[in-house]
Amino acid sequence: MSLANRFVGRSSDWSVRVRASVIAAVVVIVLTVVASSAVASGSRHQPAWVVQAAAALPRRLVGNPKPTSVAFAWHRRTVAITERFRHVVICQCVAGLVMQPPRGRVMVVSFDRRTHKPIGFSLSIR
């Protein structure tokens, strides 16, 4: 076998391997894009009662501030809505004569998925 035939044989094997690697990389990229779009589309479509609850939450705070981000965490029996604010916000809830009202930058409210009623509230600085 001549040197030229050996080189051609190796070159064609190499090109086949490169093509296979490129095809595998393209398949992985396509699957990643499809999977990430499915996750993103799932997070955008919340039930109407959750969207209404998230929109109503800032009304519980002094000055009706606009959140910088809103996140939803779905659990088996509850859904938690987390809203983050740029600055410290103050709750309008009654704190009593001795205590100050809660204040913070992150508000988390949990709702019962069956009854849609709030079951937990947290306002903290994170």
Residues 14 and 55 in one domain: no
Residues 50 and 100 in one domain: yes
Residues 79 and 51 in one domain: yes
3-state SS class at 64: coil
For residue 84, the model assigns a pLDDT of 95
Residues 8 and 58 in one domain: no
Residues 17 and 55 in one domain: no
pLDDT band at 112 (very low <50, low <70, confident <90, very high): very high
pTM check: above 0.75: no
pLDDT band at 22 (very low <50, low <70, confident <90, very high): low
Residues 34 and 19 in one domain: yes
What is the arithmetic mean of pLDDT over 61-66? 89
- Residue 42 pLDDT exceeds 50: no
* pLDDT per position as a tens digit, 100-109: 888 899 999 9
Residues 116 and 70 in one domain: yes
15 lies in which domain range?
1-45
Cβ-proximal residues to 69 (8 Å cutoff; 6+ apart), any chain: 83, 84
3-state SS class at 120: strand
- Residue 73 pLDDT exceeds 60: yes
What's the structural domain count of the chain? 2
* Cα dihedral 60, 61, 62, 64 sign: negative
CA angle 12, 16, 20 (to 5 degrees): 170
**How many CA within 13 A on the CB side of residue 119?**
12
Residues 84 and 109 in one domain: yes
Residues 26 and 57 in one domain: no
Residues 79 and 98 in one domain: yes
pLDDT band at 52 (very low <50, low <70, confident <90, very high): very high
Residues 33 and 51 in one domain: no
For residue 28, the model assigns a pLDDT of 53
For residue 100, the model assigns a pLDDT of 82
Residue 34 φ then ψ, to 5° = -65, -45
